[in-house]
Amino acid sequence: MIKLNEITKKTDQELNDFIVSERAALAQAIIDSRTKEVKGVKILAAHKKTIARALTLRRERAIAKEEAAS
């Protein structure tokens, strides 16, 4: 799992790419969990939380840009 301070250091494009790759990893983890290839399901929650953190950061940046433009 990646830490929040590592996510905040990413540029907007890197953040978008990170979200796409995390969603792909989550999809693969879901498939693996259904085929019993994953020992624990905590990895699913970790991926979901990481995606939520990244999406929140992306939204915060968008709001900050809108306010700066006003």
Residues 14-70 have pLDDT tens digits of: 999 999 999 999 999 999 888 888 777 889 999 999 999 999 999 999 999 999 987
Does the predicted TM-score (pTM) go above 0.85?
Answer: yes
Q: What is the pLDDT of residue 51?
A: 96
Q: What is the pLDDT of residue 52?
A: 96
Query: Would you say 38 and 20 are in contact if contact means Cβ atoms under 8 Å apart?
Result: no
Q: What is the pLDDT of residue 70?
A: 79
Region for residue 25 given its phi and psi (left: phi exceeds 0; alpha: psi -120 to 50; beta: otherwise): alpha
